[in-house]
A and B are shown apart, each in its own frame.
Chain A
Amino acid sequence: MIAVIDYGAGNLFSVCNALNYLGMAHKLTKNPADLQAADGIILPGVGAFPAGMQMLEESGLTEVIRTESKKKPLLGICLGMQMLLEKSDEVAPCKGLGLIRGEVHKIPSQRVIIPHMGWNELVITQQNCPLLHGIEAPIYTYFVHSYQAFCDDHNIIAYADYDGKIPALITDGGYVYGAQFHPEKSGEQGLQMLRNFGGML
């Protein structure tokens, strides 16, 4: 069973729709005990970083996410990915979960439209990532965001080239994964990534 963390994020239902479609057992929850009992965890997210972190803290979930992320696969999506990092300066400086080294800042380019919205091809730097199993290049995924991760190359599985490198799929090298794009809105290739996540449990 996958625990989908329910903290009021906008894309909760799309994520659950996709898991239902794929026949992957899941539970929408903010109960720490469910996260402990789950085989894997998905942290969805749309919105601003400080509000997201505040909701996690108010639900008493930050510690249990940190502990469980050492024991079972965790996938953060969009804001859920950004919150895996150490800190962000969206709206105001704010600490993240700190599961992956790095920070979140506004996309720096002045030459492209912000938000980065639409389908962008992924450049894969770690071919053997289990999330990408069975997905043939070119891989296009759907992005909607104005802030991006800044992290070490060894944490980056794939990036999107948008007048600069935007980390698209990141990992701590262990159980923790983050997708800046929305796999639940990225057509068949996105669904395959979710299926692959299920296969890791």
Chain B
Amino acid sequence: MLAKRIIPCLDVRHGKVVKGVNFEGVKDVGDPIACAAEYNRQGADELVFYDIVASHEGRGVFLDVVRETAKQVFIPLTVGGGIASVSDMRDTLRAGADKISINSSAVKNPALISEGAELFGSQCIVVGIDAKRDGKGGYTVFVNGGRIDMYIDLIEWVREIQARGAGEICLNSIDTDGVRGGFDLEMLQAVCANVTIPVIASGGAGKLSDFATAFQKTNATAALAASLFHFGELTVAQVKEDCRSKGIIVR
């Protein structure tokens, strides 16, 4: 059986981790490489590096962080933020990323998914989605960090993402993100029921049991969290122990 994956996300700005605090044994909590190594030690199954500034000027510094991490941490690395072209994808992969995460750029130019999948393989292409309940029982897709409603139906969009050859979907709920009341299980399952590619749950984890609940109540194959792990409130090891005690297979 495949293990369910627990994935910490590191938000990086100007080469430093944003919000990084309180890691025992990690002196510079803003140091992305040290944080990545600590997550690896805790048993993280993958890491996501997200460039929150994603400016052209800052690109080099960000990719240096990816490059250095890839030299020291030997689990899959996904890199996102500001990737808008095939050449951005190539640069990111060459820096040592195993997968690329695209979000707004995929909505604005869906061909980017198919082009990336053809050139680098489906396994490299993760499509991130920020979606919100539309108040009528459905969900719509937002871009630019969840700020702009594109009025695109979520279910139609995930089907298109799969048809274009994406390898995975990372589904973030705008409604639950930052609220810490748990993942949006209904939305997650609605997406899982409409695609066969793996779906990563994102946005809303607030307590230990939220992860196991997502795995028990939906077909999500992985769960991602940022601040919960950054602030040291929970460790990856604790989350896995809770899942394991509930009969969920984790590494």
Contacts and interface: CB of A to CB of B under 8 A. Distances in A.
Contacts of A120: 1-3
Contact of A119 (B3, B74, B94, B122): B3
A140 B3 contact: yes
Contacts of B197: 113
Interface string A140-180: 10101000000000000000011000000000000000000
B214 to A, nearest CB: 16
A8 interface: no
Interface string B70-86: 11101110000000000
Contacts of A80: none
Interface in A75-119: 112-113, 115-119
Nearest to A142: B76
Given A118-B45, A140-B251, A14 B96 contact: yes
A182 to B, nearest CB: 8
B74 A185 contact: yes
Interface string B116-152: 0000111100000000000000000000000000000
Nearest to A143: B2
Given A17-B96, A161-B1, 11 more contacts: A13-B94, A116-B2, A118-B45, A121-B251, A140-B3, A142-B76, A162-B1, A162-B2, A184-B74, A185-B74, A187-B74
Most chain-A CB neighbours within 10 Å: which of B1, B93, B197, B221? B1
Interface of B: 1-3, 5, 40, 45, 70-72, 74-76, 93-94, 96, 98, 120-123, 167-168, 196-198, 221-222, 249, 251
Contacts of A142: 75-76
Contact of A46 (B45, B121, B198): B121
Chief secondary structure at chain B's binding surface = loop
Interface residues of A, number: 30
A120 B3 CA distance: 6
User: Nearest 9 pairs between A and B by C-beta?
Assistant: A140-B251, A119-B3, A119-B251, A144-B123, A118-B2, A17-B71, A120-B2, A185-B76, A187-B75
A21 B71 contact: yes
Nearest to B124: A10
Given A115-B167, A121-B3, A21 B121 contact: no
Interface in A120-137: 120-121
Contacts of A17: 70-71, 74, 96
A14 B251 contact: no
Nearest to B199: A113
A162 B121 CA distance: 22
A167 B196 CA distance: 23
Contacts of B167: 115, 117
Given A185-B74, A185-B98, A115 B123 contact: yes
